[in-house]
Amino acid sequence: MNPIQQLTKGFWKDNPIFVIGLGLCPALAVSSSLSNAVGMGIAATFVLIGSNMMISLLRHLVPSKIRIPVYIVIIATFVTIIDKMIAAYSPALSASLGIFIPLIVVNCIILGRAEAFANKNGVFDSLLDAIGMGIGFTIALCCIAFFRELLGEGKLFGHAMPFFSKDPALIMIMAPGGFIVFGLLIALKRLMASKGGN
Amino acid sequence: MGAELIAIFIVAIFIENVVLSQILGLCPFIGVSSKIDSATGMGFAVIFVLLLASVVTWSIQNFVLVPLQLEYLQTISFILIIASLVQFVEMVVRKTAPALYQSLGVFLPLITTNCAVLGISLINIKRGYNLVEAVANAAGAGIGFFFALLIMAGIRERLDICEIPESMKGAPIAFITAGLLATAFMGFSGLV
Amino acid sequence: MNDMLRMGSFLFIIAAVAGVLLGFTEMKTSPRILENRLKQLEQARAEVLPEAKKFNDIKSENPNEGLLYTAGFAENGDLAGIVVNVAPKGYAGPIEMVLGLKTDGSIAGVKILSQKETPGLGTKLADNVFLAPFKKLLQDKQKPVFKVKQDGGDVDGITAATISSRAFCVGVTEALGTFEKVREQLPTLTAPTALPAVPQSGDAK
Of the candidates C22, C118, C163, the beta carbon closest to that of B72 is on: C22
Tell me which residue range forms the domain holding C136: 43-188
Interface of B with C (CB under 8 A): 16, 72-73, 76, 127, 189-190
Residue C20 has pLDDT above 80, yes or no: yes
Instruction: Find the helix or strand (DSSP H, E) in which A160 lies.
Output: strand A159-160
| Dihedral sign of CA atoms B171, A33, A175, B26 in order | positive
ipTM: 0.84
- In this complex, which of C26, C92, C162 lies closest to B72 when CB atoms are compared? C26
Please choose, from the candidates A133, A105, A107, the residue with its C-alpha nearest in 3D space to the C-alpha of residue A22.
A107
Which of C21, C40, C119 lies nearest to residue A32, judging by beta carbons?
C119
State how far residue C204 is from chain A, nearest Cα, in angstroms: 19
Chain B nearest CA to C176, separation (Å): 25
- The candidate with the shortest Cα–Cα distance to C96, out of C174, C20, C151, is C174
Is residue C29, in this structure, part of any structural domain at all?
A: no
Distances in whole angstroms, Cα of residue B16 to Cα of each of A165, B20, C63, C95: 28, 8, 36, 17
Nearest Cβ partner of C22 from B16, B73, B189?
A: B73
Interface contact A105, partner C, CB < 8 A: no
CB < 8 Å to A91, chain C: 33, 36-37, 40
**Residues C205, C67: Cα–Cα separation, whole Å:** 11
Contact list, C118 vs chain A (CB under 8 Å): 174
What is the dihedral angle through the alpha carbons of A105, A85, A144, B149, rounded to the nearest 10 degrees? 30
- Give B79 or C72, the one with higher predicted confidence: B79
CA–CA separation, A58 and C13 (whole Å): 13
Number of domains in chain C: 1
Residue pair B10/B143 in contact by the 8 Å Cβ criterion: no
Does residue C121 lie in a domain region? yes
Residue C155 domain-assigned (yes or no) = yes
CA C82 to chain centre: 13
Looking at beta carbons, which residues of chain C come within 8 Å of B73?
19, 22
C6 interface with A at CB cutoff 8 Å: yes
Chain A to chain B Cβ contacts (< 8 Å): 116
Mean pLDDT for chain B overall? 85
Question: In A, which residues are within 8 Å of B122 by CB distance?
Answer: 99, 102-103
Side-chain half-sphere exposure of B30, counting CA atoms within 13 A: 23
CA nearest to C115 within chain B? B127
Per-residue pLDDT tens digits for A52-78: 999 999 888 888 878 888 888 899 999
- Which residue is closest to B16 within chain A, CA to CA? A175
> Which sign, positive or negative, has the C-alpha torsion A6, A110, B168, A148?
negative
Long-range contacts of A123-129 (CB under 8 A, 24+ apart): A123/A53, A123/A56, A123/A57, A124/A3, A125/A3, A125/A6, A125/A56, A126/A52, A126/A53, A126/A55, A126/A56, A127/A49, A127/A52, A127/A53, A128/A3, A128/A6, A128/A7, A129/A6, A129/A7, A129/A10, A129/A52
The lowest-confidence range among B145-159, B165-179, C91-105 is C91-105
Closest CA to B62 of B161, B136, B128: B128
> How would you classify the pairing of strands C54-59 and A159-160?
unpaired
Percent helix / strand / coil, chain C, rounded to 5: 45, 20, 35
C72 strand-pairing partners: C55, C81
pLDDT digits (tens, 9 = 90+) for A16-39: 777 777 778 888 888 888 988 999
DSSP B34: S
Contact A184 B22 (CB under 8 A): no
Higher pLDDT, B43 or A160: B43
C16 in reach of chain B (CB within 8 A): no
Helices (H), strands (E): how many in chain C?
3, 7
Cα of A170 to nearest chain C Cα, Å: 6
- Confidence band (pLDDT; 50, 70, 90) for C62? low
| Pairwise CA distance, residues B176 & A182, whole Å | 8
Distance from the first to the final alpha carbon of chain C: 46
Please give the torsion angle defined by the CA atoms of residues C18, C23, C24 and C25, in that order, rounded to the nearest 10 degrees. Answer: 90
Rounded mean pLDDT, B54-64: 92
Chain A neighbours among B 167-186 (CB < 8 Å)?
Answer: 167-168, 171-176, 178-180, 182-183, 186
Mean pLDDT estimate for chain C: 76
pLDDT, one tens digit per residue, over A90-126 is 888 887 887 888 888 888 788 888 888 888 888 999 9
Asked if C36 lies within 8 A of A63 by C-beta distance, the reply is no
CA pair distance A45, A35, nearest whole angstrom: 15
A45 φ, ψ (degrees, to nearest 5): -65, -40
What beta strand segments (E) does chain C contain?
A: 54-59, 67-73, 79-86, 89-90, 93-94, 96-102, 107-114
Q: Give the H or E element holding residue A155.
A: strand A155-156
Please count the other Cβ atoms lying within 10 Å of the Cβ belonging to residue C156. 16
Tell me which chain B residues have a C-beta less than 8 angstroms from the C-beta of C163. 190
A80–B75 CB contact, under 8 Å? yes
pLDDT in tens, C96-110: 888 888 888 778 888
Please give the distance of CA A27 from its chain centroid, rounded to a whole number.
7
| Candidates A73, A105, A153, A167, partner chain C, best to mutate (most C CBs within 10 A) | A73
Most confident range (mean pLDDT) of A154-168, B2-16, C56-70 is B2-16
Dist. CA B175–CA A176, nearest whole Å: 9
The predicted pLDDT at position C201 comes to: 47
Please tell me which residue of chain C has the smallest CA distance to A88: C33
User: Mind telling me how many Å the CA of A42 is from chain C's nearest CA?
Assistant: 18
From residue C131, give the alpha-carbon distance in Å to each of B52, B92, C56: 43, 57, 27
pLDDT at position A54, please? 92
Round to whole Å and give the CA distance between B63 and A71: 27
Burial class (CB in 10 A: 0-12, 13-18, 19+), A51: buried
C106/B contact by beta carbon, under 8 A: no
Closest chain C residue to B67, measured at CA:
C205
At residue A198 the predicted structure's pLDDT band, cuts being 50, 70 and 90, is very low
A181 neighbors A148 (Cβ within 8 angstroms): yes
* C11 inside 8 A of chain A by CB: yes
Residues above pLDDT 70, as percent of chain C: 80
For an interface test with A, the pick among C14, C32, C96 (most A C-beta atoms closer than 10 Å) comes out as C14
CB C162 within 8 A of CB B190: yes
Contact state of A171 with B183 under an 8 Å Cβ cutoff: yes
Per-residue confidence band for B52, with pLDDT thresholds at 50, 70 and 90:
very high
Task: Give the three-state DSSP class for C51.
Answer: coil
In contact, C80 and C73? CB cutoff 8 Å: yes
Q: Over the Cα atoms of chain B, what is R_g?
A: 17
Is C18 in CB contact (< 8 Å) with chain A? yes
Neighbours of chain C (3+ CB pairs under 8 A): A, B
- C87/C114 Cα distance (integer angstroms): 9
Residue C21 falls inside a structural domain: no
